[in-house]
Amino acid sequence: MPVTVKKLDIKDPAQRSDLEKIYEDSPGWMRRNLDTEEFIRTWVEPCEQIWGGWFNDRIIGAVGIRKTDDGQQLIGLCVRQVTRRRGVAFEMVEQIMKSLEGPLFIETRQQPSTDILFDKLGFTKQELTREDGGITWVRWEKQL
């Protein structure tokens, strides 16, 4: 699926609406049991950059980039449910990495689809970072 990746302006009503649809589709564990608006306000809005994956003039995926002492962290990587398993997340992260330098990491739920995605992107899986409510989280890192 051909995806165009560009920075989002979440103050734009149409882009904000698409962003809300993406996170409404996200698994509850990802939103940390927050409602969609609270998740966006708490986790996505504070990011220095928010990127969207576009297809047919609609945003079908999103991710934030937050600078930390450890490098740059991917926050809230999510693709609309109707377009999952088509390489959208791969295309998004691959294109975003071209514009970044230094360490890049994501902390995410331990699951096979995540393992496949980040392994294919050349990230290195780190040991277990934490267990939270029965969910095992891991950290994936890559030096850009």
Segment 65-103, tens digit of pLDDT: 999 998 999 998 999 877 888 889 999 999 999 999 999
Q: What is the CATH number of the domain that holds 32?
A: 3.40.630.30
Strands (E), 29-134: 49-55, 58-68, 71-79, 103-109, 124-132
pTM of the model: 0.86
Task: Indicate the number of domains in the chain.
Answer: 1
- Strand 103-109 vs strand 135-143: parallel, antiparallel, or unpaired? antiparallel
Domain that holds residue 101: 4-143
